[in-house]
Amino acid sequence: MNTSIALNLREAAAPLAPASRPRIADDKAMLRAAAEIARDLHKPRPGIFWGDMLASAALGYGALAATILAPSTALALLAGAVAVLALYRALLFIHEISHLKHSDLPGFRLAWNALVGVPLMVPSFMYEGVHNLHHNRTRYGTVEDPEYLPLALMKPWSLPLFVVVSALAPIGLLLRYAVLSPLSLVIPPLRRIVRERYSGLVINPAFRRRATEGAERTRWLMQEIAASVWAIALIGLTVAGVLPLKAFLIFLGVISVVTVLNQIRTLVAHLWENEGEAMSVTAQYLDSVNVPPPGLLPGLWAPVGLRYHALHHLLPSVPYHNLGQAHCRLTAMLEPDSPYHKASFKGLPGLVTRLARSTMGVRD
């Protein structure tokens, strides 16, 4: 959600001279190859989607219960780590939902919201209708992109602040749904503020969400009401002593760590080097990041296909379980000097180091 701190981050930008970043033209061979190899990869496989999401959610909630009931600190930390990783994976299906043709997976969005989105206070309306703007060819990297900040051009202190502020997300979500949602129903000016500024998973503080209509508006309201009832119930049951304070705080703590992990992933999902001008598709690809095998850890911190984030920007409609195959096909098809290979990196430490060096004016 937008915060005043995020606004300060944008004000911390220190743009490079325009002449230092020449415009990148589209590589037609790469784009044509990507379209060709993906023709049979666009169909989601229901068994994989349902099995993966349900297993992740079940493991996550089971580990969360084990964390709360653990007889020792060591076991609580171990169970907590499992809960974070499993719920993080389950939560990131919100990204797939924003790209799905829902007739291919009937009921999946509803089930995900009931099992994951509402309990974790991140229903899918907070991403649907927002994330697609990030993939808009003329919006990416501009001030109209809800998911972009020129982080590489900002001050060094902006990066740790960008991550630390995400730890407060559970408190912000509780306030959003337990307080602001009910009040906004009876205070129209507040409703507009809530809709524009606190109804999307965005990092660009200048973004204002537009009103929705029809079925989308109905879906939004139903999800928001469910999340509001859940948030109020959590607070009410805790205050009444029905839900132990320890369990409530552990639940919020797990969500906080999940959010921080996702913020770190966001930090390295792009190179964040665009100053605000429109970019070619190839330039957008090269500003994004793949972390392909043989590394194993990216499967934990960038699950559900997000280790192929750059490839996803070339083929946004290819479901997560087919991105690995698409990457292998393109790697084998394209020449060694193709721009495609330039978006692949080894892992998290190198990407964080690169970004930190960029904020200090050091260019690789």
Q: What is the 3-state secondary structure (H, E, C) of 200-212?
A: CCCCCCCCCCCCC
Lowest-confidence region among 19-33, 50-64, 209-223: 19-33
* 290-333 tens-digit pLDDT: 999 998 999 999 999 999 999 999 999 999 999 999 999 999 99
Q: CA 29 to CA 333: how far, in whole Å?
A: 10
- Residue 78 pLDDT > 90, yes or no? yes
Which pLDDT band holds residue 21 (cuts at 50, 70, 90)? low
- Rounded to two decimals, the pTM is 0.93
- The total of other beta-carbon atoms located within 10 Å of residue 90's CB is 28
- Percentage of the chain lying above the pLDDT 90 cut: 91
Handedness of CA 201, 135, 271, 148 (dihedral sign): negative
- Radius of gyration from C-alpha coordinates of the chain: 21
For the chain, what are the domain ranges? 4-16+25-359
d(CA 360, CA 153): 9
Residue range 99-112: average pLDDT?
96
**Mean pLDDT (whole number) for 98-110:** 96
